[in-house]
Amino acid sequence: MRIIFIGDIVGRPGRLMVHRHLAKAIKEFNIDLSIGNVENASGGFGITKKNMKELQTYKLNVMTSGNHIWDKKETFNFIDEETHLLRPINYSSLLPGKGVYIKEIKGEKVAIINLMGMFSMPSVDNPLVAIDKELENLKKENIKNIIIDFHAEATAEKRTLLMYLKGKVSAIFGTHTHIGTDDLEIRENTSYVSDVGLTGCNDGVIGMEDKAPIERMLKGISSKFSINRNCDKIFQAIIFDIEDGKSINAFKIKAFDEGEFHKSLETDC
């Protein structure tokens, strides 16, 4: 099976780039399942039901998230109903929603897991302990195709997860920093990249206008972050192939504004 994973979709510009490029990528690269991180999809903070439905019309099948998933309070009211919208499994069990989505593709079950790191993040359970428990559950169901969105700040924390789970899961893709990294690899049949990168404005700071981040850095005081809708835009994603739970090929694609896809060199096992 071939799967596409889209980096953090930020605001209306990010949704526009999904609209412009996802269906085209699905056709061009023969994609069987699409996944995207949507925790910044509504104004840069959280996701509304309206915007979630909008992204579904663009052929986004599964939506992962992270620390901003609760920023739109309406999310508390609908996340239990939307099984394809995930929140990190290691958030408190008192919170609504699920962190795992299971779907059958070409006669095989695939599990998508949302997991969050601990460094510089809200309080969550230890991700290694949480993922061990979840993998044990999936093993009982004989599910071998397992994809993890690891939403974390530190690249070392993400790399540690790879070393812990290599050979046990199909793919681990980092999100949260919005800065695409150049370390895509397949290690012991597990695809990995520290951060997929953002989909949205490419001419500010992590998808936001640069004024507030500059003000914060100059004066040490918080300013409200906002999104410039008239910006240079980027679409970033990883495409990878799985056979019998093992990643056998992976590559990154980018597209700028309405341009064509730029494809990285393929990484095989």
Q: What is the DSSP string of 222-269?
A: -------SSS-EEEEEEEEEEETTEEEEEEEEEEETT---EEPPPEE-
pLDDT grade for 269, boundaries at 50, 70 and 90 = low
User: Residues 133-141: contacts with CB within 8 Å, 24+ apart?
Assistant: 134/89, 134/99, 134/100, 135/165, 135/168, 135/169, 138/100, 138/111, 141/102, 141/109
Instruction: Tell me the pLDDT tens digit for each residue of 44-88.
Output: 899 999 999 999 999 999 999 998 999 999 999 999 999 999 999
Domain ranges, residue 244: 2-268
- Helices 11-29 and 49-57 pack at an angle, to 10 degrees, of 30
More confident residue, 259 or 165: 165
| Number of domains making up the chain | 1
CATH number for 72 = 3.60.21.10
Q: Is the pLDDT of residue 134 over 90?
A: yes
Give the residue numbers annotated as catalytic, written as ranges: 68
Instruction: Tell me the pLDDT tens digit for each residue of 228-261.
Output: 878 999 999 999 999 999 999 999 999 999 999 9
Task: Say whether pTM exceeds 0.75.
Answer: yes
Q: Is the pLDDT of residue 195 over 90?
A: yes
